[in-house]
Amino acid sequence: MTLWVRFVRTVSFMVFLVTILSLQIAGLGTTARAQTSAPAGPQFTKLLADPLPGHPKPQAEPSFYKPDTLYQYIDGGADVYLLYDFLLLLHQDFKAGAADVTADVYDMGKPEDAFGIYSAERSPKYNYIPVGGEGYRSKGVLNFFQDHYYVKLAGFGASVDAQLDQLARMLSTRIGGSRTAPQLLVKLPQLHRVKHSEQYIRKDPLGHAFLAPAYVVTYVSTPKESKLLVSVANDAAAAKGRL
């Protein structure tokens, strides 16, 4: 595959315009944009089925939310998920000993969209852990992305953090698939790069709608912070049209 790049400089950031054709970028070993996953089936519903570590007890039947009903579960927060082409949410409440646990598994359809919504809700300052493609935790919270899923676990009560950790690792095993961030990010410069600052943005990256979708990475070289933006186009004509 050919890769066409042009630099555009502004006061606060640099922009790469990248042509993404139908083949593969040399050396990436994966297509630039993954295919949409098949509609959720039995395997998706079984992600939270028994047996689970610690033998948590479901408090009710699992709930499912589609794009037109997601607002019923996260009213006021659904729009950003829909922006990343959210497909289906599997929600389940558990009782694990003295702890209450909530598990939410979002099927985002494509790995880059799972990474995108995950990256939209994280901060470089979080406590990161090696689970799935990447995860982070705080007291009573553990979130991670893997393949085309975004997993959010929360709870409270005695030993809840240990329960969340065990559940996360079980879910990671059941999900399988890709456990890496989008491969294009590997090709970007590492020097002065702010770890965990990478984002995939579907709308108005850095305030410029015509550059969407794009990957954005933060770099710090004293005393200034810069943003590197990689705008992803479907073909050469679309990329040139963004100049």
The predicted structure's pLDDT at residue 32? 36
Residues with Cβ < 8 Å from 158, sequence gap 6 or more? 97, 98, 99
Residue type, 16: F
The predicted structure's pLDDT at residue 243? 80
| Topology of domain 42-175, CATH | Protein Transport Mog1p; Chain A (3.40.1000)
Residues with Cβ < 8 Å from 4, sequence gap 6 or more? 17, 18, 19, 236, 239
Kindly report the number of other CB atoms within 10 A of residue 80's CB atom: 15
Of residues 196, 205, 209, 197, the one with CA closest to residue 230? 205
The predicted structure's pLDDT at residue 226? 94
Query: How many Å apart are CA 169 and CA 153, to the nearest integer?
Result: 11
Please state the domain extents for the chain: 5-32+188-240, 42-175
- Give the tens place of pLDDT for each residue, 96-107: 989 999 999 999
SS3 209: helix
Here the contacts of 20-24 (C-beta below 8 Å, separation 24 or greater) are: 20/232, 20/233, 20/234, 20/235, 20/239, 21/235, 21/236
Query: How many Å apart are CA 137 and CA 166, to the nearest integer?
Result: 13
The predicted structure's pLDDT at residue 40? 53
DSSP single-letter state for residue 2: -
The per-residue DSSP string of 30-62 comes to SBSSPPPPPPP-HHHHGGGPSP-TT-PEESS--
3-state helix, strand, coil in the chain (%, to 5): 25, 35, 45
Query: How many Å apart are CA 108 and CA 24, to the nearest integer?
Result: 22
DSSP single-letter state for residue 193: B
Q: Measuring CA to CA, how many Å separate 15 from each of 6, 60, 188, 232?
A: 8, 49, 12, 11
Kindly list the strands in the beta sheet with 224-233, ordered across the sheet, starting from the edge strand earlier in the chain: 5-9, 13-19, 224-233, 214-221, 199-201
Residue ranges in the chain whose pLDDT is less than 70: 1-41
